[in-house]
Chains A and B, each alone.
Chain A
């Protein structure tokens, strides 16, 4: 059974940093791209970015709203994807979901999400 478990969320002050983790199980993690999607309280879904599998270079792409501030990485030996968030803004407050990204086309599995609150 495919499982994605996010961790690392919490309350952080504006301008500070936070790193989220996504621990995967039930599939060969290294064979898949992984994406992060967020949802602000009471709002819709927003794609944040993704990381390709090593077979496709392990490179990353980001939404314009987070480019230059957020970095996605992966450790295939541990089946973990990371989302490093720097220079956080109040508008980054959201539940952050880790997703398995199938061929850059769709998100077939989602984690339960972790809440990040950016507030002073």
Chain B
């Protein structure tokens, strides 16, 4: 299946909010509440930030939130901090026990 569609880059100033979209189809994002988001700093392994659309793992700041409407999921980061600068990837269950990732979004904190 095709990768989910994310903007290549987004940016914001410290303290602001940014939203990263993740668009799929009714066969993946729209069909299941199994969307997750991962943060990846350069040279590091990805880290789970949001799972099951909007749930936050223990230890992830509540500045990170997730939502979904139709075939599009979104990750919102409020109160931007310098350490939030990273690549972000969405991932969705895509049926038949497969998963599909988005192409990734580079977040720049100005």
Q: Residues on A close to B: CB < 8 A?
A: 35, 37, 44-47, 50, 61, 63-64, 97, 102, 104-113
Contact A45 B89 (CB under 8 A): yes
In the complex, are the beta carbons of B51 and A104 less than 8 A apart?
no
Distance (whole angstroms) from the CB of B15 to the closest CB of chain A: 29
Q: A47 with B100: in contact, given A106-B51, A106-B52 (CB under 8 Å)?
A: yes
- Beta-carbon contact of A106 and B45 below 8 Å: no
Interface residues contributed by chain B, number (CB under 8 Å): 25
Total of A-B residue pairs, C-beta within 8 Å: 60
B-side contacts of A97, CB under 8 Å: 45-46
| A47 neighbours in B (Cβ, 8 Å) | 91, 98-101
Query: B96, A105: Cβ atoms under 8 Å?
Result: no
Known contacts A45-B101, A47-B100, A47-B101; is-contact A106 B46 (Cβ 8 Å): no
Contacts A45-B91, A46-B101 given; does A108 touch B48 at CB 8 Å: yes
